[in-house]
Amino acid sequence: MKHQMETEILKAEVLIEAIPYIRRFAGSIVVVKYGGSAMVDENLKKSVIQDIAMLKYIGLKPVVVHGGGKEITSLLDRLGKKSEFLDGLRVTDEETAQVAEMVLSGSIAKALVDELEGVGIKAVGISGKDGRTMLCSKKLDEKGRDLGFVGQIDKVDTSLLDTLLANNFVPVVSPVGVDGMGNTYNINADYAASAVAGALSAQKLMFLTDVEGILKDKDDPASILRSLNKGQALAYIADGTIKGGMIPKVQCCIDGLEKGVESVHVLDGRVSHAILLEIFTTKGIGTMVTDKESV
Ligand code: ARG
């Protein structure tokens, strides 16, 4: 009996710990990049949808930007379309870009809208084409090679997103863009998320990944950096502490900050309710990157 009472009180403590964050973040725009395991595992999917619903009900303004590389690959396979890769990056011909659009906008975004509507949240799927939200041009790879219809974002027009947010919708954004001539581009979802967050002057940008956070040693989860600022992040890259696959992640964080986002978070999407734990607890569970002098 006593034990049960203690558990109940603990639940209240969790809610109380959230008060300052609810106060601080109510009304704030939070862009969530949804990808990785959290998009595949049914339980994790449910937990992400619940977290987003919770944010909305508390009064934050979530915006979802989703990925879908695996799903694109699997439809291309089913269609018997062979993909060509250059250093691990898919060469995206016109047909591939069309398939990517079908999967991202047609299938994934609509399924997310259904899930959100299922928990009582008004949601709308858009891509960079709708309202010309993301205008693109061709992005060359690091070596200056043409990979086809891979887009770099030249301009984000937030008018459609603003309208949706003002009318209480949760926008679900597919990383598909268009150029002035009407060509379709596949955009890297991390990059799309940070462009959207910057253009909306979001308070938070959260990346759901398949790692604990930003790690000093990629093989040691205990080496997670809980919080760092831009200067520290750059210094860690320069001195080789942050290396390999961690670098593009950290660069995405810095990119978000440079575009005006207040804090960028790298979270482990394999943990249920990672989003809520990060936003509404003091310690959080991932890595928080800010522009502040010292953290
Ligand atoms: N809940 C607070 C926020 O969202 C603090 C999060 C701290 N997280 C961290 N990884 N150090 O701003």
Spell out the domains of the chain, with CATH numbers in brackets: 26-210+270-276 (3.40.1160.10)
Q: Which of 288, 290, 295 to mutate to test the pocket of ligand 1 (most atoms within 8 A of CB)?
A: 288
Residue 31 has pLDDT above 90, yes or no: yes
Residue 287, ligand 1, Cβ within 6 A: yes
Query: What is residue 1's predicted lDDT score, i.e. its pLDDT?
Result: 66
Residue 212, ligand 1, Cβ within 6 A: no
Residue 180 has pLDDT above 70, yes or no: yes
226 CA distance to ligand 1 middle (Å):
9
Digit-coded pLDDT (tens) for 124-178? 999 999 999 999 999 998 889 999 999 999 999 999 999 999 999 999 999 999 9
CB 129, CB 171: distance < 8 Å: no
263 CA distance to ligand 1 middle (Å):
9
What is the position in ligand 1's atom list of the atom closest to the CA of 263? 12
What residue owns the CA closest to ligand 1's atom 6? Answer: 284
Least confidently predicted of 181-185, 250-254, 261-265: 250-254
pLDDT averaged over every residue in the chain: 94
Show the CA angle centred on residue 204, arms to residues 107 and 270, nearest 5°. 55
Query: What is residue 114's predicted lDDT score, i.e. its pLDDT?
Result: 98
How sure is the predictor about 295, in pLDDT bands with cuts at 50, 70 and 90?
low
How sure is the predictor about 294, in pLDDT bands with cuts at 50, 70 and 90?
low
Which residue did the predictor score with more confidence, 243 or 295? 243
User: What percent of the chain has a predicted confidence (pLDDT) above 90?
Assistant: 84
What residue owns the CA closest to ligand 1's atom 7? Answer: 284
pLDDT, mean of residues 189-215:
96
How sure is the predictor about 122, in pLDDT bands with cuts at 50, 70 and 90?
very high
What residue owns the CA closest to ligand 1's atom 1? Answer: 279
Digit-coded pLDDT (tens) for 92-103? 999 999 999 999
pLDDT, mean of residues 188-203:
96
Residue 75 has pLDDT above 60, yes or no: yes
Q: Which of 203, 206, 257, 265 to mutate to test the pocket of ligand 1 (most atoms within 8 A of CB)?
A: 265
188 CA distance to ligand 1 middle (Å):
26
What is the position in ligand 1's atom list of the atom closest to the CA of 265? 10
